[in-house]
Chains A and B, each alone.
Chain A
Amino acid sequence: MTTRTRRRGTGQRVPVALLVPAALGLLFLVLPLGGLLLRTPWTALGPRLTAPGVLTALRLSVQCATLATLLCLALGVPLAWLLARVEFPGRRWVRALVTVPLVLPPVVGGVALLLVFGRRGPVGGWLDATFGVTLPFTTTGVVLAEAFVAMPFLIIAVEGALRGVDHRYEEAAATLGAGRWTTFTRVTLPLVAPGVAAGAVLCWARALGEFGATITFAGNYPGRTQTMPLAVYLALETDVEAAVVLSLVLLTVSVLILAGLRDRWITGP
């Protein structure tokens, strides 16, 4: 940190009152991850990684998080547009409602999903009777649970980006003959693309780590609903070393993807 400020040659001195808590904060965030590395059985890593359940859980995690992100994009971007661009009564309340999953304990979210989309729930019962579709305790259920928890991250990021874009670009598009939909796809969306990307990354990261809503709504069936966080939790009860390896895999995948998108993610509006 100090070498960096020196190299930049700004001559700025960082006040100790800020430097100390900043260093402590960094330590607090990094130390547990370091502990994970310390406890990793490096010699047995090869066989551990290729153990049958690991790759299955990893694949399922990535697939479900990606599908959940796509679902959030399909529903969340239009919702963010509505919140940012259309005046309607109760807009403040809708905006507050959208962020509820952020503060709700995920387990409660899972219970709520179960009550509505469960076989006896109003929507779940109808789906079951009409199409024979069951959502809880299926892979679709995992996607649903993850989307429920992760969507607010996307909506907040995209709405912020939309508010940051001068709406007069949309007026200019209208004077050039573009209808509302064309304006949205040709002008608005490209202008907020960095915000959408940032929101999607946040959303994906949140979905990848989702635990509470998933285990409540989708259960813990290996190969079907057992994602990495669930596998870690389960392994912890029987084989701590396996839990550590699984955690390391999850950590590596997350860091690689987030680092790849870091610039956009951090400089997003």
Chain B
Amino acid sequence: MTAPLLDGHLVVDRAGFRLDVRLHVAAGEVVALLGPNGAGKTTALRALAGLQPLDAGRLRLDSVVLDQPDARRFVRPERRPVGVVFQDYLLFPHLNARDNVAFGPRRQGLPRRAARERATAWLDRVGLAAQAGRRPRQLSGGQAQRVALARALAVHPALLLLDEPLAALDARTRLDTRAELHRHLADHAGAAVLVTHDPLDALALADRLVIVEDGRVVQEGDAATVTTRPRTDYVARLVGLNLHRGRADGRHVHLGDGFAVPTAHQLDGDAFVVFAPTAVTLHPHRPDGDAPHTWPATVAGVHRHGDHLRVQLTGAVSTVADVTPAAAAGLRLLPGQQVWASVAAGDTRAYPVGP
């Protein structure tokens, strides 16, 4: 494997918050920084762009050190081969779409005519040739997003950064724009880092996910690994799974309080176990002879979820269960109601806590 195009250890200290993230991105690879609001994703993106100097660590792009505090090295944003698509695009309101896209090439020393020609070509690529003369306020949200993308790509950046690129769009535009963005990202020869809190955007656009919580990387991997083997509650919630941590001995994962979840595979030691909400069976009374695999729980809330009812359960083992309306009818699911929950060995997946 060749050295990554982007090789960063980003450390930024803020009042009461520390970002400490290692990031490696290969040429042509799209990495999504996924995490809840306030996790430090945008700070990381700003550090990559040079809008936020590092407090420690190092950032190298294409074998050039861009930021390294202990070596007193800092390359200013305007000298970095980086293109940024901002969350609210930040298209210059006093320039039309073409001049917005031509702004970067002009700063790279291209003569006005050549810069405009390049801008026109990029607008054509994003399908906005007809809107070249429009000011940003005359563009729709989806169009503005594409102009912002064209503007960032027109400088031929080695690293493309996208901050919540689809967050400002309505659901319908979002679908089309996501597909189009995926196409442009695939064409982009350099590295790309995408910041998002939407798992759908991350799964659709990125080759690899880096999950950031509280300024740290809690998990990273391709979409399949992250979705099947979540390692934190946040990731489990994103992919819609129940996640528990316990101790495996052979065919069970013990969750404490004497309850255990059966698994189909042999495993020992500290382990995570996941199962889908639909795998959970609820019983009105304690089933006989199956004590350790059934746990008592209290209904905390019920709401519709597709053609199922989603039941939030609290107790020793907090769980989400999806039950059919027919099953729910026999359970009298009201908040505060006591039920018993169980899950079959074939419906669970256990994996070691260690890497």
On A, residues with C-beta under 8 Å from B are 166, 168-169, 171-179, 182, 186-187, 190-191, 193
Are A169's CB and B92's CB within 8 A? yes
Among B78, B86, B94, contact of A177 (Cβ-Cβ < 8 Å): B78
Shortest Cβ distance from A191 into B: residue: B94
Shortest Cβ distance from B46 into A: residue: A171
Cα A187 to Cα B94 with chains together (Å): 8
Are B92's CB and A177's CB within 8 A? no
Q: How far is the CB of A187 from chain B (nearest CB, A)?
A: 6
Are B78's CB and A175's CB within 8 A? yes
Shortest Cβ distance from A187 into B: residue: B92
Query: Which B residues are in CB contact (< 8 Å) with A166?
Result: 90
Interface residues on B, range: 20 to 34
Convert B61-95 into 0s and 1s, putting 1 for each residue whose CB lies closer than 8 angstroms to a CB of A.
00000000000000011111011101000101110
Are A175's CB and B93's CB within 8 A? no
Q: How far is the CB of B265 from chain A (nearest CB, A)?
A: 49
Cα A168 to Cα B52 with chains together (Å): 12
B275 at the interface (CB under 8 A from A): no
Cα A172 to Cα B122 with chains together (Å): 18
Q: How far is the CB of A188 from chain B (nearest CB, A)?
A: 10
Are A169's CB and B90's CB within 8 A? yes
Convert B93-110 into 0s and 1s, putting 1 for each residue whose CB lies closer than 8 angstroms to a CB of A.
110000000011001100
Are A171's CB and B77's CB within 8 A? yes
Among B50, B94, B104, contact of A176 (Cβ-Cβ < 8 Å): B104
Are A178's CB and B107's CB within 8 A? yes
| With contact pairs A169-B92, A171-B77 given, residues A176 and B155 touching in the complex (Cβ less than 8 Å) | yes
Query: Which A residues are in CB contact (< 8 Å) with B103?
Result: 173, 176, 178, 186
Query: Which B residues are in CB contact (< 8 Å) with A182?
Result: 107
Are A175's CB and B77's CB within 8 A? yes
Most chain B CB within 10 A, of A169, A171, A173, A175, is at A175
On B, residues with C-beta under 8 Å from A are 49-51, 76-80, 82-84, 86, 90, 92-94, 103-104, 107-108, 151-152, 155
For the complex of A and B, the 8 pairs showing the least CB-CB separation, nearest first, are: A177-B107, A176-B104, A174-B77, A172-B90, A190-B94, A175-B84, A174-B78, A178-B107
Cα A172 to Cα B50 with chains together (Å): 11
Main secondary structure of the interface of A (DSSP, over half): helix
Among A168, A173, A175, A179, contact of B83 (Cβ-Cβ < 8 Å): A175
Are A174's CB and B83's CB within 8 A? no
Are A168's CB and B151's CB within 8 A? no
Query: Which B residues are in CB contact (< 8 Å) with A178?
Result: 78, 103, 107
Most chain B CB within 10 A, of A174, A182, A191, is at A174
Query: Which B residues are in CB contact (< 8 Å) with A191?
Result: 92-94
Q: What are 10 A-B pairs with beta-carbon distances under 8 A?
A: A166-B90, A171-B77, A171-B90, A172-B90, A174-B78, A175-B51, A175-B78, A175-B152, A177-B155, A178-B78
Most chain A CB within 10 A, of B82, B86, B90, is at B90
Query: Which A residues are in CB contact (< 8 Å) with B79?
Result: 177
Cα A179 to Cα B76 with chains together (Å): 9
Query: Which A residues are in CB contact (< 8 Å) with B94?
Result: 190-191, 193
| With contact pairs A171-B77, A172-B84 given, residues A177 and B90 touching in the complex (Cβ less than 8 Å) | no
Are B76's CB and A174's CB within 8 A? yes
Most chain A CB within 10 A, of B50, B94, B152, B155, is at B94
Q: How far is the CB of B335 from chain A (nearest CB, A)?
A: 45
Query: Which A residues are in CB contact (< 8 Å) with B93?
Result: 191
Query: Which B residues are in CB contact (< 8 Å) with A193?
Result: 94
Are A168's CB and B77's CB within 8 A? no
Q: How far is the CB of A223 from chain B (nearest CB, A)?
A: 43
Cα A174 to Cα B52 with chains together (Å): 12
Query: Which A residues are in CB contact (< 8 Å) with B84?
Result: 172, 175
Q: How far is the CB of B184 from chain A (nearest CB, A)?
A: 18
Cα A20 to Cα B88 with chains together (Å): 47
Query: Which A residues are in CB contact (< 8 Å) with B50?
Result: 174-175
Are A171's CB and B51's CB within 8 A? yes
Cα A171 to Cα B85 with chains together (Å): 12
Query: Which A residues are in CB contact (< 8 Å) with B77?
Result: 171, 174-175
Cα A179 to Cα B75 with chains together (Å): 12
Are A177's CB and B108's CB within 8 A? yes
Are B78's CB and A179's CB within 8 A? yes
